[in-house]
Amino acid sequence: MHQPINSLDIPENKLQELKSSGYYYCKDVDTDIPTWDLLIKVPQTKTALELYHEELKIGLLRTFIDSFDNALGGGIPLKKITEFCGQSGAGKTQLCFQLCVTVQLPLWCGGLEGNAVYISTNQGFASHRIREIAQCVIKHYRLLKAKQTTIKCEELTIEEIMKNISHIYVTDHLELIAAVTHLKEFIRDHPSIRLVVVDSISAPLKLLNGQERTTVVFSFFKELQKLAEEFSFAIVITNDITTRLGSGSTAYQTPALGGSYYHRINLRVELEKKSSNIFKATIAKNVLKPATEFEFSLLS
C-alpha cells in the first residue's frame, strides 16, 4: 500500500498545492522524473541580435499622432506595460479611446488590424466619444485609401469599429483580478486582440493598504503580461496623480501607487493639459528612447 502525502509533516497549504498538481502519494513525487527534468531545465539563451529581430517582428501600436509616435520610437510596444498618468482632464482616457480605434486600422496604413478590450474602473468609458473618434479616423483613412493604388483596401464603418471594442466594468480589486481570469478565456476565443486598456489602475486600489496594494498590482500585471507575451497585445493603463509630503513637510505631486509599482511598468508618459485641445506629454520612462517632452493634439 502506498504512503499518502497526508502522513508527512508538511504544512496544509503545501499539501493542497501538491494535490492540485496531482501528487497524492509519496511514490508520485519519487517517480515523476519528467516533471523534475522540466523544473531544472536551463532557460534558452538568445543573443541581443536575435531579441532585436524578434522585437521588430512584433510591431508597434501607433497613436497616429506624429510627435507622439516619434517620441516613443514608432509607437506603443506590444507585450509591454505603458502608463499614461496625469490629473483629471489631462487626456489619458481620450488617448485610450483613440488607440482603441487606431489599433483596428489595416497593416498597410500603420494599424494592427486588431481588436481592443477596455477595462474601466471609474465609469469613464464613453461610447459616444469613441463614435466621434471613429468618424474622424475613418475620414483620415479614406484620404489615405484614395492615394493607395496597389492594395485592395477594405471599407471601415463606425459600427464595425465600435463592435470590435469590448468593455469590462470593475468596481474593486477583486473584480480587477477576476477580469484577468476572464480575459484568459476571452482572448483565446478572440486572438485578434491587440490592445488591453485599464482605465484607471489606481481607482480600485485606493482602499487597500500599502502591502495589499503591492500584492494585487504585481499579481494583476504578472497574469496580464503573461497573456500579452502569449498573444502579442499592448497593455495601456492610466494612473492618477496624488499629493505626498516630502522632507520638511513640503507637499509634492507624483503618480499614485508608489515606487515599487514604477518598476513594474515599462513605459511612463506624464500628461498635462495646456489648452482646449493642446496637451503636453513627458516621456518619463522608456527603455527604447531617451526622456523627452512635446505638445500634441487629439483627434476631434
Instruction: Provide the residue ranges of all domains of the chain, joining segments of one domain with +.
Output: 58-296
Digit-by-digit pLDDT tens for the chain (300 residues) are 566 667 676 777 776 777 666 666 666 665 544 555 555 566 778 898 887 777 777 789 999 999 999 999 899 999 999 999 999 999 999 999 999 999 999 998 889 999 999 999 988 999 999 999 999 999 988 888 888 777 777 889 999 999 999 999 999 989 998 998 899 889 989 999 999 999 988 888 887 887 888 888 888 888 888 999 999 999 999 998 877 766 667 776 777 777 667 788 899 999 999 988 899 999 998 877 788 999 999 877
Q: What is the pLDDT of residue 147?
A: 82
User: What is d(CA 269, CA 267) in angstroms, rounded to the nearest whole number?
Assistant: 7
Q: What is the pLDDT of residue 286?
A: 85
**DSSP assignment string, 51-109:** HHHHHHHH-EE--S-HHHHHHTTSSEETTSEEEEE-STTSSHHHHHHHHHHHTTS-GGG
Instruction: Please list, residue by residue across 97-121, b when 16 or more beta carbons sit within 10 angstroms of its beta carbon and e when fewer do.
Output: bbbbbbbbbbeebbbbebbbbbbbb
Tell me, which fold does domain 58-296 have in CATH? Rossmann fold (3.40.50)
Q: What is the pLDDT of residue 27?
A: 63
Which residues, in sequence order, are CB contacts of 75 under 8 Å at separation 6+?
Answer: 60, 61, 62, 63, 69
Instruction: Please list, residue by residue across 199-224, b when 16 or more beta carbons sit within 10 angstroms of its beta carbon and e when fewer do.
Output: bbbbbbbeeeeeeebbebbeebbeeb
